[in-house]
């Protein structure tokens, strides 16, 4: 047994059809689609050392030991060790950092869990003493990432990916995400995502608690039908470059997600005043100025404004006038569709 060291950089993603609600073992209640982001990434190094009596797993964030930040990572290691019991013979040092500030209020679990899952897949590949095909490697990495955090399963692929089974999508699976990069019209590959950081604090109700509330939700059955239908419509729009249908689905999904939260028992509201102001303003830019711009929202108050790069200047000029504080206080992350994870081991 030898020491093994590997580093992967992996991005976050932004869902257009949202995963919301899950069964046991991180099996999604409905299928989802996301764009892989470019700039919001985690960089994770995994060092596996042959275990001795006093070795323990350690987690370092930004180079400083912080085991409480590493809880999700340790849990993922534990779960993968059940599948690959020889991992118990190692102790692990995990070094992780993000390209976005920890307190930005944007979830880091998709990027961090996918980066760690990729490191573990590299270790499993080396232990198997055979070279995995790209498809084998990515499928396994996506499955491990899903076990860490559902939406992380989609971050493994460039550009865009689908996670969750739908009978009319060949190879779609609840266990792992699939690559959808070849099915996206070039118009959508230049989509920009300006993330307005309405509130950088940790949200009051976690995604895990939100998923759980879907188990008993009055709208559960119809939500499953809606997500499946929206996914099929979205894939057609992505293929043909149909922006108007994309806008309809993106905003319907975002508002549905928050509608489901509000109508849970107990209900809760993550949107804030500025979230609503931004939603109205983005719609006004479309209806009154004819600009191609829309929004999506994750499980938090921040607004993701989506628009083609070809119209960025005009759109951002309007926002600078209406929401100047976001520009002057560095409260926007400018991201776009990205190329997926990279192995960065030297």
Q: Contact between 157 and ligand PMV (CB under 6 A)?
A: no
Task: Tell me whether residue 152 or residue 293 sits nearer to ligand PMV (CB atom).
Answer: 152
Task: Tell me whether residue 98 or residue 151 sits nearer to ligand PMV (CB atom).
Answer: 151
Q: Contact between 149 and ligand PMV (CB under 6 A)?
A: yes
What distance in Å separates the CA atoms of residue 174 and residue 329, rounded to the nearest whole number? 41
Q: Contact between 338 and ligand PMV (CB under 6 A)?
A: no
Chain center to CA of 133: 24
Out of 6, 15, 29, 169, point to the residue binding ligand PMV (CB under 6 A). 15
Query: Are 191 and 336 within 8 A, CB to CB?
Result: yes
The tokens for 323 are 């929401």
The tokens for 35 are 């764009």
Task: Tell me whether residue 107 or residue 156 sits nearer to ligand PMV (CB atom).
Answer: 107
Out of 9, 45, 161, 207, point to the residue binding ligand PMV (CB under 6 A). 207
Q: Contact between 108 and ligand PMV (CB under 6 A)?
A: no
Task: Tell me whether residue 29 or residue 315 sits nearer to ligand PMV (CB atom).
Answer: 29
Q: Contact between 73 and ligand PMV (CB under 6 A)?
A: no
The tokens for 84 are 């690959």
Nearest approach in angstroms of CB 150 to ligand PMV is 4
- Residues 277-316 contacting ligand PMV, CB under 6 A: 298-299
Neighbours of 313 (CB within 10 A): 8
- Residues 178-197 contacting ligand PMV, CB under 6 A: none
What distance in Å separates the CA atoms of residue 212 and residue 230, rounded to the nearest whole number? 22
Q: Contact between 150 and ligand PMV (CB under 6 A)?
A: yes
The tokens for 308 are 């083609």
x-or-dash string of contact with ligand PMV, 34-63, rule CB under 6 A: ------------------------------
Nearest approach in angstroms of CB 169 to ligand PMV is 16
What distance in Å separates the CA atoms of residue 278 and residue 287, rounded to the nearest whole number? 14
Q: Contact between 341 and ligand PMV (CB under 6 A)?
A: no
Task: Tell me whether residue 107 or residue 197 sits nearer to ligand PMV (CB atom).
Answer: 107
Task: Tell me whether residue 254 or residue 293 sits nearer to ligand PMV (CB atom).
Answer: 254
**Residue-wise DSSP of 186-245:** HHHHTEEEEEE-S--SPPSS-HHHHHHHTTT-TTHHHHHHHHHHHHHHHHHHHHHT-HHH
- In the chain, at which residue ranges do the beta strands (DSSP E only) sit? 4-17, 22-23, 27-28, 32-50, 58-61, 64-65, 90-98, 160-163, 177-179, 191-196, 294-297, 303-308, 332-336, 342-343
Out of 32, 96, 121, 172, point to the residue binding ligand PMV (CB under 6 A). 32
Out of 19, 59, 246, 281, point to the residue binding ligand PMV (CB under 6 A). 19
What distance in Å separates the CA atoms of residue 114 and residue 157, rounded to the nearest whole number? 10
- In 68-190, at which residue ranges do the beta strands (DSSP E only) sit? 90-98, 160-163, 177-179
Instruction: Give the interface segment with ligand PMV, choosing from 14-22, 261-269, 304-312, 316-324 (CB under 6 A).
Output: 14-22
Binding site for ligand PMV (CB under 6 A): 15, 18-20, 32, 107, 109, 149-151, 207, 257, 298-299
């Amino acid at each position: 047994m030898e020491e093994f060291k590997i580093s992967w950089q992996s991005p976050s993603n932004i869902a257009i059809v949202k995963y919301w609600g899950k069964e046991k073992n991180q099996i999604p209640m409905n299928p989802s689609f996301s764009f892989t982001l470019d700039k919001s990434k985690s960089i994770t190094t995994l060092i596996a050392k042959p275990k001795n009596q006093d070795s323990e797993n350690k987690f370092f964030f930004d180079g400083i030991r912080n085991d409480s930040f590493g809880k999700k990572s340790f849990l993922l290691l534990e779960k993968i060790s059940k599948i690959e019991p020889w991992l118990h013979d190692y102790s692990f040092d995990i070094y992780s950092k993000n390209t976005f500030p920890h307190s930005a209020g944007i979830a880091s679990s998709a990027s961090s869990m996918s980066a760690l899952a990729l490191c573990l897949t590299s270790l499993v590949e080396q232990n198997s003493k055979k070279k995995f095909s790209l498809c084998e490697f990515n499928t396994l990495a996506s499955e491990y990432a899903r076990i860490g955090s559902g939406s992380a399963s989609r971050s493994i692929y460039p550009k865009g990916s689908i996670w969750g089974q739908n009978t009319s999508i060949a190879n779609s699976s609840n266990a792992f995400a699939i690559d959808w990069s070849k099915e996206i019209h070039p118009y959508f590959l230049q989509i920009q995502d300006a993330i307005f950081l309405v509130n950088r604090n940790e949200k009051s109700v976690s995604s895990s608690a939100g998923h759980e509330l879907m188990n008993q939700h009055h709208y559960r059955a119809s939500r499953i039908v809606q997500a499946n239908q929206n996914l099929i419509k979205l894939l057609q729009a992505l293929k043909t470059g149909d922006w108007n249908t994309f806008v309809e689905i993106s905003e319907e999904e975002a508002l549905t997600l928050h509608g489901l939260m509000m109508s849970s028992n107990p209900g809760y509201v993550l949107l804030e005043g500025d979230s609503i102001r931004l939603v109205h303003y983005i719609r006004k830019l479309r209806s009154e100025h004819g600009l191609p711009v829309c929004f999506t929202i994750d499980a938090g108050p921040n607004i993701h404004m989506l628009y083609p790069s070809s119209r960025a200047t005009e759109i951002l000029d309007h926002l600078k006038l209406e929401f100047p504080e976001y520009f002057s206080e560095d409260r926007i992350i400018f991201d776009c569709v990205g190329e997926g994870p990279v192995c960065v081991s030297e």
